[in-house]
Amino acid sequence: MNRIACGLVTMAMSTASLAADGVPATYRLDLVHTGGKGTEIFAVDRLRQEPLPWPGHPSRATDDGKSGLYRFEVRDADGQLLQARGYSSIFGEWVTTDEAQDQHRTFHESLRFPAPAKPGPVQVRIYRRDAQQVFQPVWETKLDTTDMFVDRSPTAAQDLIVIEQHGAARDKVDLLLLGDGYTAAECAAKFRADAERVTAALFKVQPFARRRQDFNVWGLCPPAAQSGVSRPSTGIHRASPAGATYDAFGSERYLLTFENRALREIAAQAPYEALVILANNDTYGGGGIFGLYSTLAVDSSWADYLFVHEFGHHFAALADEYYTSPVAYAAPTTIVEPWEPNVTALLDRDKLKWRHLVATSTPVPTPWPKETFEAYQLDVQARRKQIRADRRPESEMDALFREEQAHVTKLLGRERYPSAVGAFQGANYDAQAYYRPQLDCIMFTRDQVPFCRVCEAALEQVIDSIAPGTAQP
């Protein structure tokens, strides 16, 4: 029996076991999220019952309530909390772009939750942060899980591949790797090797290395008619199953899918709390949105870095700590303390969110060669832009990144505070307003460094909220 077939048998046994233990069904509320120019509207698309039981443990229905631009709660008819999680969204990113100032757009979103113990109505409420970063209710609806219009139709079967399984879904963080832009032949011959390679990259990095036993890793590879995904800036368009595309919001390296319904129908064939799309391309690119998904170009020379960096966004709401690369977002008009765990506006030094990690001998703000770094990065970004404008080979971009990596490693390696936790100016796409916790981090550079201590702690906290197990030495 081949390894994929073994995976199918294992999953079938797990599903049967979960059902026998009375694990609830999984429901998915599909929404449309519309707005722009100061308008924001939510509307129900459909309520969907997914084919697999709920993958989470009933005692861990909520997170710590600190992360996400949005938050949702689902309660049963008696007010019992079924699920509450923070999340971010494509709409939430889009409204910060210039386009949103004079246009409206609609995006598709989904919220997943377990069935109530007693079939019947559930109350769904969505909150959004206000200008002071406080969650305020913005929308609610009541749904009936017994309604005849609940979509219970079967989904197109996909072969579920077991990459790593360390226990029952409800006791683990279930990570789904979903291949996009793989032909049937590539699904059979290439996808598993790609999935295993990036999985190994993730578990080389802390805290994932010591928490490996707290994860299951699954794979799905729906076959595509053509190899690769869309890259509109070069005239390439592909009808890939999950709809991954470069050039999101006009950023050539930003890789997202706007085909949420198609994505969720594919993903419903696996248990998951975290979802990563492996785009079958070699052009540098990726993306990550908290609570939604992350993406990477799996054949890029920087795929290992892309996987770990973008997963940090998706899994633990880590902010980008870099600030010299161009982005599609407009600068905020008012600076408030960001909700992300690894950046600060340093508006009150005595309330620095990671102050418990700062030694008394470390100055705040913490000095570093900011001007020298920025001068070099200005040149790198100009050269990077020209490579893309000339449509030169990807090997030239890789060479530039390797040069940049060597330069930054040397520059930062001789600093006075190379591993101290402090407040280093420059983060979150802004050279002045925001600060990062350490000199370097995988959220700051491609400099072959791990997560900083603040990011590592944030990641571990999310793992604990889903699968509090025993850390491995």
CATH 3.40.390.10 in the chain, residue ranges: 161-320
* pLDDT over 90 percentage in the chain: 88
Confidence grade of residue 369 (pLDDT, cut at 50, 70, 90) = very high
Q: What is the pLDDT of residues 379-422, one digit of tens each?
A: 999 999 999 999 999 999 999 999 999 999 999 988 899 999 99
H or E stretch including 310? helix 303-316
Between CA 454 and CA 451 the distance in angstroms is 8
The per-residue pLDDT for 177 is: 98
Do 138 and 42 form a contact (C-beta atoms < 8 A)? yes
Q: For residue 470, what pLDDT is reported?
A: 54
The answer to whether 443 touches 452, Cβ cutoff 8 Å, is yes
Average pLDDT over residues 236-240: 97
Question: What fold characterizes domain 24-144?
Answer: Immunoglobulin-like (2.60.40)
Residues above pLDDT 70, as percent of the chain? 94
Quote the pTM value: 0.94
pLDDT confidence of residue 156: 82
146, 91 contact by CB (below 8 A)? no
- Give the other-Cβ count within 10 Å of 98's Cβ: 12
CB-hemisphere CA count at 13 Å for 25? 16
From 1.20.1260.10, 2.60.40.10, 3.40.50.720, 3.40.390.10, which CATH number describes the 161-320 domain? 3.40.390.10
Residue 352 backbone phi and psi in degrees, to 5: -50, 125
How many angstroms separate the CA atoms of 223 and 240, rounded?
8
pLDDT of residue 205: 97
Relative orientation angle of helices 303-316 and 192-202, to the nearest 10 degrees: 70
The pLDDT of residue 13: 37
Residue in this structure with the two tokens 């707005």, named with its chain if needed? 35
21 pLDDT band (50/70/90 cuts)? low
Decide the pairing of beta strands 286-289 and 81-87.
unpaired
Burial class of residue 262 (count of CB atoms within 10 Å of its CB; 0-12, 13-18, 19+): middle
Contact 418, 441 (CB under 8 A): no
CA distance 343 to 437: 7
In the chain, which segments carry CATH 2.60.40.3250? Answer: 24-144
pLDDT per residue over 245-272, tens digit each?
A: 999 999 999 999 999 999 999 999 999 9
Is the model more confident about 149 or about 4? 149
Q: What is the C-alpha separation between 308 and 324, in angstroms, rounded?
A: 20
- Tell me the average pLDDT across 169-173: 95
Beta bridge pairs of residue 215: 173
